Structure 1
Amino acid sequence: MAMNMGPGSGGDDPDVMVEMNTTPLIDVMLVLLIMLIITIPIQLHSVNINMPTGTPPPPTVPPQVVTIDVDFDGTVFWNGESLPNRAELEARLAATAALPEQPEVHLKPNKLVEYKDVAMVLASAQRLGVTKLGIVGHEQFVK
C-alpha cells in the first residue's frame, strides 16, 4: 500500500503563498480615481463669444467698378471705350490711383490675347499704385 504524503516536505508547515494580494491595491486605485473625478472642474460645452449689439451702420457708398477689357489683338478698353495707346491707359490708371477711395479695377482678358498685353496692364496698374485690382472672367478658361 502506498501512503499519501501530500504536497511539500511532508511536515506540518503550511505552504508559502506566492501570489500577491491585490485587493488592497484595487481599493487604493478606486479611492484615487474617485478623488480625481471630484477634483476635475466641470466641462462646459459652450463657447462664450462677444457678439456686437445694435444694428450695423448701412454701407456708405456702393463700390465703383472700372472694367478694363483686353481684346484678342491687344486692344485695351476702359469701361467699353477703346484706348488708343498705353499712355492714355496709364493716365487713367494714375487718375484712378489718386482718388481717395479707389474704385475696384476689374481686368478681363480675352481667351486668345497674348500674355504680354495682359502683363503690360498689370505692371502699369501696380507701378501707378492701383491697389484694388482683380482679374475676372475665369469661366472662359475652364474646359
Structure 2
Amino acid sequence: MSFATSSAGEPLREINTTPLIDVLLVLLVMIVLTIPVATHSLEYNLPSGEVTGAQPNPITNVLEITPEGTLVWNGRPTDEPGLVTLLGQVRAMKPEPEVQFRPDANASYRASARVLQIVKASGVTKFGFVGNEKYGTFSRGN
C-alpha cells in the first residue's frame, strides 16, 4: 500500500476519495432498503361480458335554474326537497342516467352553488354542465 507523500513540507495535493464513495454507496443502499414497499392499490371494477357497442343512456335529465331562482327538472318546476328526491331516484337507477346542469346566464350564483351542493351530497356520479359554450364570448355592454 502506497501513501502520497509531500516533499519539503508541501501540502498533500491528492485526496483519497474511495472511502468517501464507499460510505455514500452504503448510505444509498440503506436508504433504498428502508423505503416502504408501495402497497397502495386502486380498486376498479372492470366490465364483464361482451360489449356489442356503445349504448346510449336511456334517460338524460336536464336540471335548469331560471333567473328567478326556480329549479326546473326536465321542464317541470321543482323545489329543493323535490330535487333531493329526484336525485335519489336517479342514483338508484341501473345504469345511472346522466344529469345535465344548465343554469340560465342571469341565474343567481348562490342558487347555482346551492344546487351543486345538493347534487354532490346526493352521490350522483354522472353529472355534467351543458350549454356553457354560449358563454365563451361575452358581448360588450353599451
TM-score range, shorter chain: 0.5 to 0.7
Q: Which residue of 1 aligns with 2:77?
A: 82
Residue in structure 2 matching 1:111, options 94, 97, 105: 105
The two structures have a TM-score, normalised by structure 1, of: 0.56
How many residues get paired?
86
Q: What does 1:91-110 align with in structure 2 at a 5 Å threshold?
A: 91-110=85-104
| Separation (CA, whole Å) in 2 of partners of 1:138 and 1:58 | 29
Match of 1:134 in 2: 128
Deviating runs (4+, > 2 A) in structure 1?
none
Which of 52, 72, 91 is the aligned partner of 2:67? 72
Give the secondary structure class of the aligned counterpart of 2:99.
strand
Distance across 1 between alignment mates of 2:126 and 2:53: 22
- What residue in structure 2 maps to residue 31 of structure 1? none
DSSP 3-state at the match of 1:130: coil
In the alignment, the residues of structure 1 paired with residue 134 and residue 105 of structure 2 have an alpha-carbon distance, to the nearest angstrom, of 7
Q: Deviations over 1:59-83 (max 9, x none)?
A: 3x41121000111111111111111
- Whose Rg is larger? 1
Q: Return the alpha-carbon distance in structure 1 between the equivalents of residues 94 and 114 of structure 2.
A: 25
Percent pairwise identity: 29
Structure 2: runs of 5+ lacking an equivalent: 1-50
| Pairwise CA RMSD | 1.4
TM-score when scaled to structure 2? 0.57
Shift of 1:121: 1.3
Distance between the aligned counterparts of 1:79 and 1:96, measured in 2?
Answer: 13
Secondary structure of residue in 1 paired with 2:64:
strand
